[in-house]
Amino acid sequence: MERRTIFPGIALPMLLVLPQLLLTVVFFLWPAGQAIWSSMTRADPFGIRTQFVGLENFADLFSDPLYVDSIGRTVVFCAAVTALSMGLALLLAVYADREIRGRGFYRILLIWPYAVAPAVSAVLWILLLHPQIGLVGRWLNRAGVQWNYKLDGTQAMLVVIVASAWKQVSYNFIFLLAGLQSIPRAVIEAARMDGAKGWFRFRTVVLPLLMPTVFFLLVVNLVYSAFDTFGTIQALTQGGPGKATETLVVKVYRDGVVNLDIGSSAAQSVVLMLGVIVLTVLQFRFLGRKVAE
Amino acid sequence: MNGRIDWPAHVMLGLGVLLFILPIWLVLAGATLDPAAIARGELSLVPRLDGWGVYAAVLAEGAPGAQPVGRMLLVSAGMALAIAAGKIVISILSAYAVTFFRFPFRMTAFWTIFITLMLPVEVRIMPTYSVMSDLSLINTFPGLTVPLIASATATLLFRQTFLAVPDELVEAARMDGAGPLRFLKDILIPVSAANLAALFVILFVYGWNQYLWPLLVATNPRLDTIVIGIVKMIGTETQTEWNRVMATAVLALLPPVAVVVLMQRWFVKGLTEGEK
């Protein structure tokens, strides 16, 4: 879509768009180009010379069982976080859409966690689940469950999933509720008149109309769980115990910033970039112009 | 709505609210407890009424492993405000340029900005770090904020808003002799005020909650944000003073939550409508 009425001038608009372009080129395009370049080079052990090695870093990456494991782990993690936070949000949105007393009150109490930082939500969950001091963690141990997410990999995964999903419920709730409210009452009434009840009405009338919102959220949640949960995981487990909660982003941080393996870290960055590009294209193809930070 | 109470809805929503309130209540109450008691495993939901002094203590002194919380709150506030304001300003300007003018490489500029959507910090960690160090921006406040100011999201949102401005409004302004900058300042920005408010909330929260970026570019503790600081506090596993950690968690939560709650109406509308 384009505007019909416009202003004349060439220098002014170029000047106006310049700051944004400058920042984009310096801090986004240039580093991304660097990542692609260094993903195809390798430094000798003393860091004196670098040589071009083509796709060798990628070949190494995908033949490294640790990396393949990390991909699998990330997929499980993202799927679990997305399913949990969207499922819970849908359930709450359906009830909040009913005409009940105090709905404004409920709504605000369900929306505010949007503002909680991922790393801070991790702290809240530590206080609940810590094996020695946590409110729930202590209780689990007393009840005879061997609860210690600092030693048990499966439990650690469970904890990072729960903490990550908890924080994302409100975002999904806001969109699902808006989606439900935009369904014309007349459609619901018509279905009711035709005798469609409860779950059946929801499944055959409401859910199909809600599908665009659900698809949009699916992509947003995958991006969130893949990228924005770094703080949550870092605060809760640092990717451990061992590598039990090392998702791709945690791994790229560990390999690049902590272990200074530039070639491999760059190759991992490029793989992640491709992942984001695929998700963004999906989002725009299926949903028109929907964008989220 | 015929006077009967919808019990299932109240029960479900009540449980949902509880799920979010419980952890907050826990830190609110826990912050007032005796740290030795918490370490012994006596964390409880009942606050100790004479324990509120912990807030003054963390604001002034912090906790083992971290800076005073008052200082970190200032850094966070500065960062969040600078990012939100910066993003809004440069996005309004670039959206205005691409919607209200025709100039060479207009679409190239637009798509260049658009591409940043696909390049979150997480996927370009190391090279961004080296660009930052080439520009000597490591451990500086501009380093913490300026690179996060480029925003495709805000540009797209303003472009959407600007496209919907009626032609008559533009014609009328031009008839009255308003130049492009005058039109932007006196008409376009005021009519976009609601979107601006919504975007401010989203961007403030985004800036406040950053973790990976400050971790990467600011190793100097004096530039620690509150989010960085609280993770440092729990990192010192053996000597963690949990009451202080909890008080810090409350203080870290408060500003962004307050912004969302106070500006709820615009925020929800802007978030859900802006996505179309």
Residue A291 has pLDDT above 50, yes or no: no
Residues of A in contact with B115 (CB under 8 A): 24, 28-29
| CB-based burial, B135-165: b 16+ in 10 Å, e otherwise | eebbebeebbbbbbbbbbbbbbbbbbbbeeb
Question: What's the domain count of chain B?
Answer: 1
Tokens of B263: 């500006």
Tell me which residue range forms the domain holding B145.
Answer: 7-274
Residue B127 confidence (pLDDT): 82
Residues of B in contact with A28 (CB under 8 A): 115-116, 119, 124, 150
pLDDT for the residue A47: 65
Let me know if residue B13 belongs to a domain.
Answer: yes
Window from A92-96, A115-119, A174-178, A276-280 with minimum mean pLDDT: A276-280
Q: Phi-psi region for residue A144, left (φ > 0), alpha (ψ -120 to 50) or beta?
A: left
pLDDT digits (tens, 9 = 90+) for A245-277: 999 999 988 888 888 777 788 888 889 888 888
Residue B17 lies in a domain: yes
Query: Mean pLDDT, to the nearest integer, of A100-104?
Result: 83
- pLDDT of A143: 86
Q: What percent of chain B has pLDDT over 70?
A: 96
Distance (Å) from the alpha carbon of A2 to chain B's nearest alpha carbon: 7
Q: Is the pLDDT confidence value at B241 over 90?
A: no
Average pLDDT over residues B216-225: 89
Of residues A259, A272, A268, the one with CA closest to residue A38: A268
CA distance B135 to B133: 5
**Domain presence at residue B1:** no
Answer whether the bond into residue A241 is a cis peptide, omega within 30°.
Answer: yes
The reported pLDDT for the residue numbered A206 is 86
Ordered by start, the domain boundaries in chain A are 69-245
Task: Report the distance separating Cα B53 and Cα B43, nearest Å.
Answer: 18
Mean pLDDT of chain B: 86
Give the residue with greater pLDDT, A22 vs B64. A22
In this prediction, residue B178 carries a pLDDT of: 83
Q: Chain B: residue nearest A233 by CA?
A: B231
- Asked whether the beta carbons of A77 and A161 are under 8 A apart, the reply is yes
B189 in contact with A at a CB cutoff of 8 Å?
A: no
Question: pLDDT tier at A146 (50, 70, 90 boundaries)?
Answer: confident
Q: Is the pLDDT of residue B174 over 90?
A: no
Residue A24 has pLDDT above 80, yes or no: yes
Of B131, B170, B259, the CB nearest to A5: B170
- pLDDT surpasses 60 at A292: no
Is residue B139 one of the residues assigned to a domain? yes
The pLDDT assigned to B175 comes to 86
Specify the CATH number for the domain of residue B131.
1.10.3720.10
Give the pLDDT confidence score for residue B31 in this predicted structure: 84
* Predicted local distance difference test score (pLDDT) of residue B187: 87
Distances (CA, A) of A59 to A54, A55, A64, A115, B127: 10, 6, 9, 41, 21
Tens-digit pLDDT profile for residues B27-75: 888 888 888 888 787 788 888 888 788 888 888 887 777 888 889 999 9
Q: From chain A, pick out residues whose CB is under 8 angstroms from the CB of B151.
A: 20, 293
Quick check: B186 contacting A, CB < 8 Å? no
Is residue B197 domain-resident? Answer: yes
Q: What is the pLDDT of residue A289?
A: 46
CATH class of A69-245: mainly alpha
CB B90 within 8 Å of CB B150: yes
B34 contacts chain A (CB < 8 A): no
- Hey, which residues does A34 pair with through a beta bridge? none
> In whole angstroms, what is the distance from residue A18 CA to residue A52 CA?
34
Whether A24 and B112 lie within 8 Å, measured CB to CB? yes
Identify which of A17, A100, A293 has the shortest CB distance to residue B153. A293
Phi-psi region of A239 (alpha: psi -120 to 50; beta: other; left: phi over 0): left
Phi-psi region of B165 (alpha: psi -120 to 50; beta: other; left: phi over 0): beta
